[in-house]
Amino acid sequence: MLAIIGGSGLTQLANLDVMRREVVRTPFGEPSGALTFGRVGGEAVVFLARHGYGQTIPPHMVNYRANIWALQHAGAAKVISVASVGGIRADLHPGAMVVPHQIIDYTWGRKATYFEDTERPVVHIDFTEPYDARLRHTLLESAKTAGVDALDGGVYAATQGPRLETAAEINRLERDGADIVGMTGMPEAALARELKLPYAAIAVVANHAAGRADSAQAIHFTQIDATLRQAMGQVRRVIDELCRNSRP
């Protein structure tokens, strides 16, 4: 079964035929909300709204461990993350889609591992390629079939939030090699890897990052909402295709 974690702008999947909702408790606490089970184009899908269904959980307070654990224990064999981001690279305008291939983690103070039991030997996961290559490929192929332009590759900078960045911070992220910036990509991707769950993301550029283009003086929130509303329609089309192509 495919799991989809929806971010800002995607608290529900319009194309999901909902069959049931289930509240799951985990050894790591409560996930962001009930898991929604259903079908998209005949494929079984489980959906979770990362920030809660009322969009009330800020990025640094999301229980990433509970979310990933709950999805796996509900039967998910792979996870697609939908996330909104700021565009750092000059050609990544609001509305652009990116399937990132790398991550730089600037978050702090988040529960970022399942392996912290001091009674057991230390576990290190390989994270050279943070996203699953096959799932990225399927995502890109699905976007192509759906007629949605999605950039193949990009470096995702995960910042702590919930505030947006300063212009100088964005300049620094760019010097570090980041193309897009968001607040939820980590530790989510690493936790999925710890549980050996293939994980890939589709990032929707909601705004130019701080200090860039029309965000030169400030980031305008009304514009973000409008951009996300429109772009999430495209994301849903990609997910439709993905489910058609997907054989778990």
Number of residues that bind ligand HPA (CB under 6 A): 12
Phi, psi angle pair for 231, to nearest 5°:
-70, -35
| Interface positions, 161-190, toward ligand HPA (CB under 6 A) | 164-165, 181-183
Choices 39-47, 70-78, 81-89, 109-117; region in contact with ligand HPA by CB under 6 A: 81-89
The least CB distance from residue 234 to ligand HPA, in Å, is 16
Choices 14-22, 47-55, 84-92, 143-151; region in contact with ligand HPA by CB under 6 A: 84-92
The least CB distance from residue 229 to ligand HPA, in Å, is 14
Among 84, 107, 138, 227, binds ligand HPA (CB under 6 A): 84
What element of type H or E holds 83? Answer: strand 78-87
CA distance 97 to 106: 22
Phi, psi angle pair for 80, to nearest 5°:
-110, 130
Q: Does 107 bind ligand HPA (CB under 6 A)?
A: no
Question: What amino acid is encoded at 24 in this protein?
Answer: V
Residues 6+ apart with CB under 8 A from 5: 47, 48, 49, 50, 67, 71, 79, 80, 81, 82, 188
Which residues contact ligand HPA by CB under 6 A? 84-86, 159, 164-165, 181-183, 206-207, 209
